[in-house]
Amino acid sequence: MSKPYYSSSQSNKWSNLENFLHSVVPVVPSNVLPQSHIEDITNIWLFDDKDTVEYFKLEDLWRSFEEWSAYGVGTPIVLDHGKSIVQYYVPYLSAIQIYSTKTRTAVRNLGANVNASKKDIEFFGDDILANTSFKDENPCPRINRLGYLYFQYHDTSSPYWRVPLADKIMDFMPNYPRLLSLRSVDLSPASWMSIAWYPIYHIPTKWYVKDLATCFLTYHTLSSCFQDSARDYDYDHQKDVRATQISEAMEENKEKFHSQIVLPSFGLTTYKMQGDLWKNKNTSDEKKLVDLESAADSWLKQLDFYHHDFSFFKRNS
């Protein structure tokens, strides 16, 4: 079974919601790009305040989901009567937008057709403005702000018809090989993905709790502009609802995460959340849920992106 990045001793410090958020954080190997090479990549998003920039390869990101896609990832949950279980979730690619710092010509070498519905997947490059949702009387600021939309996808099918994230990415490989070779440093700050987490089973199985049917939708940025190495990972607590718990995890795992990058959720929404299992009254869980959903909503609005799953989760939560 694939394991989350925190230790079992840490899980006892956190609420069920916090345990879940920590369990599903992707952790990828870190690579270092010297500052002298940054200008060779882009002149739009600069890293003037750093001598080096750490980045990850998209190939490594997808690989980090292989075990989770096959077996699920477990998160510890404390039930109302004090008993503990481990609930397993499988990740599904809900939506993704990859904005490259290079034009379509620079990242070409793609196939002509894709095995997906036209309404679900689109490719843009130099012709990004051909899509009505990206039209602008003055297109230059839009391109400079977001970059070139290399790839986007959002799943509108029933969860029963979806395949796990790692398998879905492999479906795109023949026609979108750059999904493997691109690096986070090649991506603009507008690049992101959303993962749907559906429960599959829990251990031990003897307890039935209705709230264990809750599904989650997490949001993660993909550009190096937003990332720090795990050993330096820190947040201003007033600005980020995950600050204290993440910082504690990093402090206790410095050696393990010396050369890795973490991609925590900046946004979240839920489906079928009932009762108090995920809302510990002695913590800031309630506020955290509101703040993370608001962050996801704001992100989608800024990108003018209609996310089918987000709308469905909110409408039926």
Which two structure tokens, joined as six digits, stand for 103?
């034009």
219, 206 Cβ separation under 8 angstroms? no
Does residue 248 carry a pLDDT above 60? no
Does residue 157 carry a pLDDT above 80? yes
Does residue 297 carry a pLDDT above 70? yes
pLDDT for the residue numbered 222: 96
- Quote the CA–CA distance of 184 and 220 in Å, as a whole number: 12
What domain range is 258 assigned to?
8-316
How many independent structural domains does the chain possess?
A: 1
207: confidence class by pLDDT, cuts 50, 70, 90: confident
* pLDDT, greater one: 214 or 276: 214
Is 3 a member of any domain? no
DSSP 254-316: TTTTTTEEE---SEEEEES--SSTT--TTTTHHHHHHHHHHHHHHHHHHTT---HHHHHHHHH
Is 312 a member of any domain? yes
Residue 206's Cα: distance from chain center in Å? 32
Is 285 a member of any domain? yes
Is 38 a member of any domain? yes
Does residue 52 carry a pLDDT above 80? no
Is 126 a member of any domain? yes
Is 95 a member of any domain? yes
Q: What is the rounded average pLDDT of the residues 138-158?
A: 74
Which two structure tokens, joined as six digits, stand for 248?
């504690």
Identify each DSSP E strand in 107-184 by its residue range.
121-122, 148-154
Q: What is the rounded average pLDDT of the residues 191-212?
A: 90
0.75 surpassed by pTM: yes
- Quote the CA–CA distance of 64 and 102 in Å, as a whole number: 26
**For residue 18, with 0-12 CB atoms within 10 Å meaning exposed, 13-18 middle and 19 or more buried, which class applies?**
buried
Is 178 a member of any domain? yes
Which two structure tokens, joined as six digits, stand for 196?
């749907």
- Quote the CA–CA distance of 55 and 278 in Å, as a whole number: 33
In this structure, is the dihedral angle defined by the CA atoms of residues 246, 250, 252 and 256, taken in order, positive or negative?
positive
211: confidence class by pLDDT, cuts 50, 70, 90: confident
- Quote the CA–CA distance of 98 and 304 in Å, as a whole number: 14
- Quote the CA–CA distance of 107 and 229 in Å, as a whole number: 27
Which two structure tokens, joined as six digits, stand for 99?
């904005």
Q: What is the rounded average pLDDT of the residues 91-104?
A: 87
69: confidence class by pLDDT, cuts 50, 70, 90: very high
In this structure, is the dihedral angle defined by the CA atoms of residues 102, 108, 110 and 114, taken in order, positive or negative?
positive
pLDDT for the residue numbered 182: 95
39: confidence class by pLDDT, cuts 50, 70, 90: low
- Quote the CA–CA distance of 23 and 230 in Å, as a whole number: 15
Which two structure tokens, joined as six digits, stand for 157?
């099918």
151: confidence class by pLDDT, cuts 50, 70, 90: very high
Helix (H, G, I), strand (E, B) or coil at 41: helix
Is 236 a member of any domain? yes
Share of residues in the chain with pLDDT > 70 (%): 67
